[in-house]
C-alpha cells in the first residue's frame, strides 16, 4: 500500500460559444465553459457539466481535473486512452462529480493508449470527498492527497461524488517515484452518497483499489492482476460491501487484501471497520516464488483495523489470513475482526497466523468463526463470478 498518486485527466476549458471548433459534434457542455478536444483530452473543468460522446475515443494526454461544482458524465461505451504516462490521469476534487454510466454489454473503458499495453502506462482515477478520515484522531480533519495536492476528508459522511457503474480501468497505476504510485482507483475520503457498482481494476502497477478513509459502499468489484494488493484500505475507512473478486496473475502482486486503520496511529478514530459479504481471493499458489510474491497472503489485517467478513473463499495462498499488531489481534479477541463461513478451497499452506507489535507469534485462529466447504464467495468459488460476464476481463 502506498499513497496513491493523484493524476487528473485533462479537459480543456473554453467558452461554450467556441464549443464547435475542437469537440466532437456529439459532445455537450450544458451551461459549462469547457470545450473537449478528443485528441488532447486534458485541463480543468471548472463549472457546468461536460458529457462525452461514446462514439469518440478520447486521448488522455495530461491531467483532467473536475473542480468543485463541475460534473463529468461518461456514457456507456465511451473509451478513454491514457497517452501521457504519469502525466495523464483523472481526478475529481471535493464538490466535483463524475458519472460513469456503463452497462453490462457496453462498459466504459479507461485504458492505455499505447500500442503495446502494460501496467503503469498511465495514471488512474482519483476521487476526493468530504467524508471523515483519521489522520488526526476524531475524524474532523482534512488532508492533501499526495501528488495532486487535492484536499480530502471532512465531516460529511454521506457526501456524494457521483456514480461509477460498469467501468473497467486497465493498465494504470503509473509509478511516479519509489514511494508514490497511482492505484487504478483511489478513493480519498469518499462518502456514502457515492455509488460504486460493477467496477474492474485490471493489470495496474500498484493496488487495484485503495480506500483512504471515507464511508463509501461498494458492490461487484473485480480486481485482477494488479501488481501490489488487489484491495487496500487505511485512514479509517468504513463501508458496506458485497461481491468482491480478486485474483493475482502473471507472476506479480502480493496480497488479496491489505488493511490498516492508520499507520501512524493504530487506534486513531474513526477506526477502519468495513463489512464485506461474498468475497473471493485467489492467489499465486503457496509455493510461488517468494522473491516475486514477497507477502503471499490472502488477507493481511494490521495496524488496528477491524472488519467483518462473511461467505469467503480463499484459494492459492501461502497464508490465508495474516493478522499483525496488538490492536488488530485485540479486535480478533473482541470479535470485531472476524470472518464467518470461510472456504479454504485449496493450496493454503497456513490458514491463519498472527504477529504482535513486538514481533512474537500469536494465535489468531479465532478470526475464522466457522468454516464452510460450500461457501461460494463472490459467486462461483475460486472461478470468475457470473455477474462479471460480458464486461470484465480475466486473462
CA distance 42 to 45: 9
| Close Cβ partners of 260 (under 8 Å, ≥ 6 residues apart) | 1, 233, 234, 235, 272, 302, 303, 304, 305
Confidence check: pLDDT of 377 > 50: yes
Cβ neighbours of 219 (radius 10 Å): 17
Q: Are 126 and 4 in contact (CB under 8 A)?
A: yes
Residue whose cell numbers read 456524494: 160
Cell numbers 456503463 correspond to what residue? 102
Strands 337-355 and 361-362: antiparallel
pLDDT, one tens digit per residue, over 32-91 is: 899 999 999 999 999 999 999 999 999 999 999 999 999 999 999 999 999 999 899 999
Which of 163, 168, 251, 156 is CA-nearest to residue 213?
A: 156
Q: List the beta bridge partners of residue 191.
A: none
165 — pLDDT class (breaks 50, 70, 90): very high
Task: Give the helix ranges, DSSP H, for the chain.
Answer: 19-22, 326-334
What are the pLDDT digits (tens) for 258-267?
Answer: 999 999 999 9
Mean pLDDT of the chain: 91
Q: What is the pTM of this model?
A: 0.93
C-alpha to C-alpha distance for 91 and 179, rounded to whole angstroms: 20
Amino acid at each position: 500500500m502506498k499513497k496513491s498518486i493523484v493524476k487528473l485527466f485533462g479537459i480543456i476549458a473554453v467558452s461554450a460559444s467556441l464549443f464547435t471548433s475542437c469537440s466532437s459534434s456529439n459532445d455537450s457542455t450544458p451551461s459549462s465553459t469547457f470545450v473537449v478536444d478528443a485528441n488532447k483530452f486534458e485541463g480543468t473543468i471548472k463549472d457546468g457539466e461536460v458529457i462525452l460522446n461514446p462514439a469518440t475515443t478520447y486521448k488522455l494526454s495530461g491531467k483532467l481535473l473536475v473542480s468543485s461544482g463541475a460534473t463529468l458524465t461518461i456514457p456507456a461505451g465511451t473509451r478513454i486512452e491514457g497517452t501521457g504516462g504519469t502525466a495523464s490521469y483523472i481526478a475529481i476534487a471535493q464538490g466535483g462529480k463524475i458519472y460513469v454510466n456503463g452497462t453490462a454489454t457496453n462498459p466504459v473503458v479507461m485504458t492505455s493508449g499505447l500500442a503495446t499495453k502494460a501496467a503503469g502506462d498511465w495514471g488512474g482515477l482519483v476521487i476526493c470527498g468530504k467524508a471523515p478520515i483519521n489522520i488526526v484522531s476524531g475524524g474532523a480533519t482534512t488532508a492533501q492527497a499526495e501528488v495532486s495536492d487535492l484536499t480530502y476528508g471532512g465531516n460529511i459522511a454521506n457526501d456524494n461524488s457521483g456514480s461509477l457503474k460498469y467501468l473497467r480501468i486497465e493498465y494504470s497505476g503509473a509509478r511516479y517515484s519509489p514511494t508514490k504510485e497511482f492505484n487504478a482507483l483511489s478513493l480519498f475520503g469518499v462518502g456514502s452518497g457515492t455509488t460504486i457498482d460493477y467496477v474492474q481494476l485490471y493489470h495496474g502497477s500498484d493496488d487495484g483499489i485503495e480506500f483512504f478513509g471515507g464511508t463509501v459502499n461498494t458492490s461487484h468489484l473485480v480486481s485482477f492482476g494488479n501488481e501490489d494488493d488487489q484491495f487496500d484500505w487505511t485512514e479509517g475507512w468504513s463501508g458496506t460491501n458485497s461481491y468482491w473478486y480478486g485474483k493475482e496473475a502473471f507472476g506479480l502482486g502480493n496480497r488479496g487484501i491489505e488493511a490498516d486503520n492508520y499507520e501512524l496511529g493504530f487506534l486513531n478514530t474513526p477506526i477502519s471497520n468495513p463489512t464485506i459479504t461474498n468475497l473471493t481471493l485467489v492467489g499465486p499458489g503457496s509455493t510461488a516464488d517468494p522473491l516475486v510474491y514477497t507477502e503471499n497472503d490472502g488477507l493481511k489485517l494490521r495496524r488496528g483495523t477491524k472488519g467483518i467478513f462473511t461467505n469467503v473463499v480463499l484459494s492459492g495462498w501461502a497464508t490465508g489470513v495474516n493478522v499483525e499488531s496488538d490492536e488488530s489481534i485485540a479486535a480478533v479477541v473482541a470479535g470485531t475482526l472476524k470472518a464467518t463461513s470461510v472456504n479454504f478451497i485449496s493450496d493454503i499452506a497456513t490458514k491463519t497466523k498472527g504477529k504482535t507489535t513486538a514481533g512474537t507469534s500469536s494465535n489468531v485462529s479465532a478470526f475464522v468463526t466457522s468454516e464452510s466447504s460450500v461457501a461460494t464467495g463472490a459467486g462461483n468459488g475460486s472461478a470468475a463470478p457470473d455477474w462479471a460476464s460480458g464486461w470484465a476481463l480475466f486473462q
